Amino acid sequence: MSKVLVIGCGGVASVAIAKICQNDKVFSEMCIASRTVSKCEAMKEKWQDKTSTKISTVQIDANSKEQVVDLIKKFQPDVLLHVGMPFHNIILMQACAENKVHYIDTAAYEPEDTNDPVWREGYEKRCKEKGFVAYFDYAEQWSYFEKFKNAGVTALLGGGFDPGVTNVFVAYAKKHFFDQIDYVDILDCNGGDHGYPFATNFNTEINLREVSSPADYYENGKWVSVPAMSIKREYDFPEVGKKDMYLLHHEEIESLTKNFPEIKRMRFYMTFGKSYLTHMKCLENVGLLNSTPVKFGEHKIIPIQFLKSLMPDPSTLGPRTVGKTNIGCIFTGYKDGQKKNIYIYNVCDHQEAYKEVGSQAISYTTGVPAMISAALLATGQWKKAGVFNLEEFDPDPFMDMLNKFGLPWQISENPVLVE
Ligand code: NDP
């Protein structure tokens, strides 16, 4: 029986919390800690009569290492599940390594202020050395390997769907279907409709930073950079239909090409509708996607945070979103000397997710694997001290739990390939 400390209480957290409550044989106690404690209390109210997991709540500022360490010492969790903002990954990792607690997050570290001169210097160096320009990468988090190893605990990076399940799909494909994987295309399709002209389906700030930044893919040992939204393909997604998808940089390419150096090319595509792209371009052109503070009257504001405050909260989209997501990986490689193509994917229905836990499918597809990652560490089924990405563990128990906890996956042989 394990104790889990959940940091954050937004869209993804609300699903992870629901799933922790469903898995009460593993999680005997959960503390929900976030900036707005009323949201944590509402979650406790919602689930406490439906689970034997004992739930407590507390207000916390994840920017304060002191507060995090105090809470860890008081609650004494086995696992800390970070489903808040990636700005806090480093502080939370430090607190976990120093106090021998397993750590999990769902997005690679990026700083809140990308103009911070110290961070900027390291960033410019990384752009030159590695060749990709996204604000997020794994280098700093990976540098905590020895600290976690010496503490005898695990940091599991990127435990949502993508990154997360997509990493496990690659490990599963390699274990069961391929002697050698040459090409991987990760396709993230949201065929859902929430009825708003413009809304993001997870944290607005992180989503817009990710999508508006220059795109990259990995080919023959190098990153290839192209302008944002400049590579477009149409794909006919199983159970969703034809959608336009655009090449993006995504963090799992960084870890997967390191852990499977045989992969010759890896690309990531996400679907977007015309209305989303037009709004995003317009907001970018007027400067509202900037994260540098500007003076407004007597106050300083951060434009992208001001924009977020005006937009629909992604965690409220559940009741109005209809349609399905389809996220998966297309593999090309060899088995027993024969060329082989397979597609592993999950389809998730927004309204079914809403009926079950009160959230849309993007939060659902992230929150379920976050709970699974926590459970595999808590039960010791995944056991290695250090800092790892999900593809570095046995994929089988994770794949079994996806089926059990609401994200069944499918495999199709000889799918249509992305040109
Ligand atoms: P939300 O904005 O809905 O939730 C963020 C939560 O963090 C909120 O509860 C917020 O509190 C809390 N928070 C923010 N600042 C602080 C702070 N200083 N101290 C304590 N708590 C704080 O985001 P999502 O749920 O949509 O996304 C959560 C994470 O999941 C993000 O990192 C996102 O990038 C990642 N993600 C990963 C995916 C994957 O597949 N791997 C897919 C989708 C998202 P408050 O309520 O006060 O605002």
Our answer on whether the CB atom of 35 is closer than 6 Å to any ligand 1 atom is: yes
pLDDT value of position 114: 84
Our answer on whether the CB atom of 314 is closer than 6 Å to any ligand 1 atom is: yes
Q: Which residue has the tokens 């750590």?
A: 103
Our answer on whether the CB atom of 84 is closer than 6 Å to any ligand 1 atom is: yes
Ligand 1 mean position, distance from CA 179 (Å): 38
pLDDT value of position 389: 98
pLDDT value of position 291: 86
pLDDT value of position 113: 84
Is the preceding peptide bond at 214 cis, omega within 30 degrees of 0? no
Q: Please give the helix or strand (H or E) that residue 327 lies within, else none.
A: strand 324-335
Our answer on whether the CB atom of 168 is closer than 6 Å to any ligand 1 atom is: no
Ligand 1 mean position, distance from CA 117 (Å): 25
Our answer on whether the CB atom of 316 is closer than 6 Å to any ligand 1 atom is: no
pLDDT per residue of the chain (419 residues) written in tens, 0 to 9 = 899 999 999 999 999 999 999 999 999 999 999 999 999 999 999 999 999 999 999 999 999 999 999 999 999 999 999 999 999 999 999 999 999 999 999 999 999 888 889 989 999 998 888 888 888 999 999 999 999 999 999 999 999 999 999 999 999 999 999 999 999 999 999 999 999 999 999 999 999 988 998 899 999 999 999 999 999 999 999 999 999 999 999 999 999 999 999 999 999 999 999 999 999 999 999 999 998 889 999 999 999 999 999 999 998 999 999 999 999 999 999 999 999 999 999 999 999 999 999 999 999 999 999 999 999 999 999 999 999 999 999 999 999 999 999 999 999 999 999 99
Q: Relative to the CA of 36, which ligand 1 atom is closest?
A: 47
- Substitution candidate for ligand 1 out of 366, 373, 402, 407 with most atoms within 8 A of CB: 366
pLDDT value of position 116: 86
Residue 383: how many other CB atoms lie within 10 Å: 11
Ligand 1 mean position, distance from CA 265 (Å): 31
Ligand 1 mean position, distance from CA 202 (Å): 8
In the 8-state DSSP scheme, what is residue 416? P
Q: Relative to the CA of 61, which ligand 1 atom is closest?
A: 19
User: Three-state SS string across 223-253, please?
Assistant: EEEECCCCCEEEEEECCCEEEEEEEECCHHH
Ligand 1 mean position, distance from CA 316 (Å): 13
Our answer on whether the CB atom of 206 is closer than 6 Å to any ligand 1 atom is: yes
Our answer on whether the CB atom of 8 is closer than 6 Å to any ligand 1 atom is: yes
Strands (E) located in 159-287 = 180-190, 215-219, 222-226, 232-237, 241-248, 265-271
Our answer on whether the CB atom of 138 is closer than 6 Å to any ligand 1 atom is: no
pTM of the model: 0.97
Q: What is the distance between the alpha carbons of residues 270 and 188, in angstroms, rounded to a whole number?
A: 5
**Tokens in use for 404?**
């059990």
Is the preceding peptide bond at 369 cis, omega within 30 degrees of 0? no
Phi-psi sector, 8: left (phi>0), alpha (psi -120 to 50), beta: left
Residue 171: how many other CB atoms lie within 10 Å: 22
Contact 342, 411 (CB under 8 A): yes
Nearest to 30 by CA among 58, 11, 10: 58
Residue 117: how many other CB atoms lie within 10 Å: 7
pLDDT value of position 292: 85
